[in-house]
Structure formats: C-alpha cells, structure tokens
Structure 1
C-alpha cells in the first residue's frame, strides 16, 4: 500500500474518533455517530427480510444539496425501470435526517464509513446492479469493491478544477479512483479537458441535473398565502439560506435602504435566539412566520421583514420575489442560486463563489452580483432596483437553456444496463 493510500485509511479510521471528541458540543456530530451505530447490521436485517426481491440500484449523495441534484435522475430511473428497487445513502445527517422518509427510494440509510471491511460487506449485502455517485463522491474502498465485483459505477453532475489532487503530479492515488468509474458525466468543458489531460476519456459533457430539478420546482410551486399577503404588491427581496455573516451585511443595508422594499429571510439554520438577535438589530418592524395567524393576516400590513422559521418553504417563496440574496458565500459555501434564477430576478451573494459554475456564469453574464461589503451591496442593489429587467431575463434564460442533463445521464445508464443484460444472456 502506498503512502497516500495509508494516509487515506488512517484518516478514514480516525474520523469517528475525532467526532466523538467534538460530539458533546456538536449536535451534527452526535447524529452522525448515532446513525453509524449498528448500521451494517440494520442494513443486513432490512434487506435479508425484504419480501421485495427486485434487483437494487444504489444512489449515494453526500448531503441534502447533492440529493436535490440527484433527485431528477432517481425519479427518471424509477419511471423507466420500475422493476428495480432504489437504495439511497447519505454521508451527512443534514441529508439523511431531512430525507430519510423520501418516498422515491425503497431504502434510505447512512453510508457506512469507508473502511475495507465495511465496503466489502455493504456491497455483498446490497448487490447493486448499478451505482450512481452524485457530484463529489470518491470513496476509495467502495470504488475498489464495486470494481472488483464488476458492478458499474457512474458519477454525474461532477465538476473538476485544476487545483484538485487528481491533477497534481503526486495525485496518482486519486487518479486511480477516477479510473474505477465506468463513466463520468460532468458539468462543463473544463472538466472534460482536465480528465482528458490525465488520460481519462470515459466522459460525457452532460451538464448539471440541478437545472432539471429547479424546472420541476417551478412546475410544482405552491401558493403561500402569508407570503402573498406580506408582499402586498410591493417589491420583495427574498434572502435564501442566510448565515450570520450574510446578515452582518444585510442588516445594515436594510436599515439604510429608504425605498419601498419588503424582505423575506429564510435562515439556513432555524435558531430562535439567532433570529431574535437579527430582529433586534433591524430598525424596521419584523415578524416570524410561526407568529402569524393564517386566519388574520392584517398583522403583516406594517411589517417590513418576515422571518421564515420552518423548513421546506424556500423554493416556493422565490415566486414572490423581484430580487434574491443567497447565503453562504462569505464562508460556508454558496447555497442554491438556481431556484431563484428560474423565476427570473437579479441575484446577490457574498464574494466566495468561484467553485459554483452557475454563479460564475451568471456573474459573467450580468445576472448575478457578488458583494463583499455593505457599501458594495447598496451600490449593486440600487442599480438593479432602478431597472432589474435585463438581469431578470438573463437568469431566467440561463436556467432554461441548461435543462436536459437528466436525460443525458439516463442515456448512459440505459446503455450500461443494456450492455450488461446482453453480456449475461
């Protein structure tokens, strides 16, 4: 075993120990550790006692964002191949806890940690006919076991950058992981070129399945009477997935903005104390969604800011907006901007967005606007407030012309299943 492989194994085995140290102070770490307890035995019991004996395909998503990215493919696969069961795994509690009851999968589990023994037992238990890894998933032992068992593996909505280890002179271990995939479906031409530079050619430029997902969202958007009454025909800014660092810029901006503007804030994490602090810092009147009586919406008339203290509503809230600010790009990682873009509006976010292709594209085209300070937000927002029509058209058309990745993923999956069926006859 090479040095890098040894370091990989050490880091994988050390991960639970590290989380046990922080678990007393970190709820997410506690949930992950609890989820891993007896996990393989639970999977074995569930599958061994299943009455349904249809073959299984396995989808793996790191977290909730990757799940939403993969959901159109899962649903398309279900429609095309109803004679298969779908098994879905998550690495992160933020994905598993929200989607553990997802009706589009027959089974939903945490992913057992990637040790050789776990990977071997998991593959033997599940016996997947086909595996889909969504975006950034490169688990060495799972890939090795799947390759050894001659089980085809696809990666879709993947994106690669020159600074990744795959493309470094010392990145041989990581390049070998890429060679375990039967096919890589990537988001952009740069990824195709980078993979070709290291002699990986089983690649398709398929695009990003998130565009298909947001198109589905628009088709199934639901009416939210509280939001409609709150807007009351006025210009509306929807703040999606706000973190404290985002609000450190937004609060002083809102306190100084003098034009008519309603604001809906959907925090990334629902924490009553944090929301209360934001309310205190705002000079404008505000209300929490949970405090609104749906039978008496008159309380909303004089409110400037509405805080959403629940989950699952954000994608439908964008339909009421003329502008969007998407959180996470000051440190944590930019959240989904496509849900806002599909409704056609200028989009604002923090300065750290270069790893998100859609953000890079929309900034270049003039539909999105990164800001670092309150002053920069004031300037950028004032310009769009005066005339948002151009940016709104740019964002809407950007989504429309990028729809179709799911069909390209399914074309590759269908060919692999067909070839495998022919080889077994």
Structure 2
C-alpha cells in the first residue's frame, strides 16, 4: 500500500507540472516550493521552541485560526510556523501577522518530511480537519513530537474504515490526540482502536462568533444598502447566479450583494450582464449609476464581514461539489439558503433542523422561500435560531487549549 501511496504522490506531482502551463494555481503551487528548504533554513532557528500549524487552504486556516491566535497569546516564547498545501491559502495569508513563519508544505515524501521536520523542529504539530500525510505524520512520530488533529470529522465511507485501509489506519496511529466535531467521529475511531479522542466541536464556531462580534465595516456598502432589505449571496457559482438573477426583478425594493467564488474579469462581466442596475465594488465610490440594485464584489476577503448587512443570505456551491461556509452568515443572526448538495455538512443539516436554513433545487424553490421570509416575524425567528445555534456550539478552542497547556507545560 505504501508503494501505491508513493506512486500516487509522484503522479500528482507530474500532473501539477503538466497543468502549470494552463492553470495559474498549479503554477503558483510549483513556484512556491522552489528553493523552499533553503528559505526555511535561513529563516527558522530549529533550536527556538515553535508550534507548527498546517492547513490545506484558506477555509481550514479560518477554521483553525482561533487556536493559532490563542497559542500565540499563551506562548509568546514559541514561534508560530504555518504551512499551506494550496496556493489559495498561502497567497492570501502569507502576510498574516500572528505567524512568525509561513511556508508551503513540501510534497509528502520520506526525504522531504525528514528534512522539513528537522529544519523547523517543532515542539508541537497541529493539523486541521482532513489533512493526513503519511510521511509527515511518521516523521513527527519518529521524533516523538506531539501531533494533534483539530476539528476533525470522519465518515464511514472513508478508507480508514475499509478492509483495504491498513495504511490509512497506521497513519492515524501516529496522532497523539484527535479533537473531533461529533460523537459519530469518535465512535468510528473507537471501532479501529483509536481512543485518544475528544469531542470538542468545530473551531469554526469560535471563529465566526468572534468575527460577528467585531466585524470590519464598509461605509460604501452601508450607503449602498441604505434602508433597504438586503440579500447577500456569498461564494456563488454560475448555477447559483442564474437562479438568483431571477429575484432582481421580482423584488425591486431589495438590494443584492453578490460575492462570487471566482473574481476573474469575465466572471464579473457576466454578473453585470445578468444584473441590470448594478455596480462593482471597486467602482462603488465613483459610480454614476443612480441607486443601483446589485453590488458585485470584485475582490477576495470581504465576504465574512458583508453578512452583517444581510437580512437573508444565500451560500453558493450547493449545485456543485458542496456548499461553502454557512456559519459566517448564521453568526450574524441571518437565515441562510443553499443548494441541494449539503448533506456532507453537519452545520447545514443542523440549520435546516432548526428552520434557520433552507435548501432549494431550482429558482421556484428560491422564490418560495424568499416569499416566506418576506414576513418579518418569520425572518426574525429563523435568524434568531441561526445565531443561537452558533452560540451554543462555541467552545472548541478552549478544550483544545486545555490539552495544549498540558503538552507544553
């Protein structure tokens, strides 16, 4: 099985080399890893105590961010080292002030893992959710460096729980402790004789609650919204946008803010073509459009704060591989709507159960929910339930920090 794992890693690397000529992210993935070990050896003192956090991408970073910031505050003598697998995480957070060092994660090979861990020599390693790399885990284990996985969630369909998953199970055995999101994950791990498990919940709840408590404000957006009711659609894809566009004419007194998942110029122009009376955010200050109905966000980084202006939120991705982050909107006490592909997301199912979230299959479903939420009492009740759900699920960061305190002290 290890042979197949190695083959898969090398094949992935080969594909990245091919795709770099067509895909900007693949190019960044390769460029970011050039001369990486030389950079690390110049920047990091392996004799200085440090905590290594690894994240797949931006979403996992935001998920683990409360733990990063608590660790930074609790252990000022320790350097904070962050690695990313994906360019979409590294490029957006490479200047994050709470970290002392930020790098790409090298490809998971035996030699890379040995050299990387030797160069940074962390006191503790913390991985988030789904990031399982055999050689990095093995190297940490060989060096007796504690490894914990936070906000993990497991499903019966994963290889860890299949007859052919011997290597996957061995990988999990290298972890000192798992902090999982739910009881089912603990039960699954117990079934393969892994018992160093705490049901802590999801650190995203701590992150979104913190964001909602002190959000960044945007005067231009506030002026755009004025006294109108506001529909904010975040991380949208073309399938989402087609059905949202039907609402513009049906609800002329509402304002709409659309933050697409991709902000390529052709994507923004396509949205402008759908919207009619619209303006992109970068031109909002100087627009000649009189009272535009639709604001199109043409940058990355604003979305989590934009939900403060929403009366209703729509979360994109549900007509593709899966919905994006519903909790950022829920934390502001906003009812959320999303497409049909939500079953893998525990928080989406919970919001539906509480009648704070609503799923749709087409434009007619979206219009029906919009009509229902025109009633202030219905909209208010759904929003209150959304906020209450986030509030009751907070606390994962504190449980994780209690364990870290034992390890470091």
- When normalised by structure 1's length, the TM-score is 0.93
* 2:399 matches 1:399: no
* 2:118 matches 1:124: yes
Q: Distance in 2 between matches of 1:259 and 1:287?
A: 16
1:78 is aligned, of 72, 78, 82, to 72
* 2:10 matches 1:13: yes
Report deviation, 1:220. Answer: 2.3
* 2:349 matches 1:360: yes
Q: Distance in 2 between matches of 1:152 and 1:333?
A: 33
Structure 1 residue runs of 5 or longer lacking an equivalent are 419-425
Report deviation, 1:235. Answer: 0.8
Whether the 8 Å contact between 1:100 and 1:108 is mirrored in structure 2 is yes
2:265 is aligned, of 268, 272, 283, to 272
Whether the 8 Å contact between 2:235 and 2:315 is mirrored in structure 1 is yes
Q: Distance in 2 between matches of 1:353 and 1:179?
A: 30
Q: Distance in 2 between matches of 1:170 and 1:250?
A: 44
Count of residue pairs brought into register by the alignment? 407
1:41 is aligned, of 38, 47, 61, to 38
Report deviation, 1:259. Answer: 5.4
Whether the 8 Å contact between 1:230 and 1:300 is mirrored in structure 2 is no
Partner of 2:234: 240
Whether the 8 Å contact between 1:229 and 1:300 is mirrored in structure 2 is no
Partner of 1:197: 191
Instruction: Describe the superposition over 1:332-367 as per-residue Cα deviations: whole angstroms up to 9, x where unpaired.
Output: 432111110011111011111122111111112211
Partner of 2:311: 322
Partner of 1:411: 402
1:64 is aligned, of 58, 62, 76, to 58
Instruction: Describe the superposition over 1:212-255 as per-residue Cα deviations: whole angstroms up to 9, x where unpaired.
Output: 11122123212211111111111100111112221122123434
Partner of 2:380: 389
* 2:178 matches 1:187: no
- When normalised by structure 2's length, the TM-score is 0.96
Partner of 2:365: 376
Partner of 1:25: 22
1:172 is aligned, of 166, 171, 176, to 166
Q: Distance in 2 between matches of 1:20 and 1:57?
A: 31
Partner of 2:253: 260
Partner of 1:289: 281
CA RMSD of the aligned region, Å? Answer: 1.5
Q: Distance in 2 between matches of 1:211 and 1:76?
A: 15
Q: Distance in 1 between matches of 2:267 and 2:300?
A: 16
Instruction: Describe the superposition over 1:240-282 as per-residue Cα deviations: whole angstroms up to 9, x where unpaired.
Output: 1112221122123434x24521100111121222111122123
Instruction: Give the secondary structure class of the aligned counterpart of 1:24.
Output: coil
Q: Distance in 2 between matches of 1:307 and 1:143?
A: 43
Instruction: Give the secondary structure class of the aligned counterpart of 2:27.
Output: helix
Whether the 8 Å contact between 2:179 and 2:200 is mirrored in structure 1 is yes
Instruction: Give the secondary structure class of the aligned counterpart of 2:381.
Output: helix
Structure 2 CA distance for partners of 1:401 and 1:301, relative to 1, 3 Å: farther
Whether the 8 Å contact between 1:16 and 1:33 is mirrored in structure 2 is no
Whether the 8 Å contact between 2:277 and 2:289 is mirrored in structure 1 is no
Structure 2 residue runs of 5 or longer lacking an equivalent are none
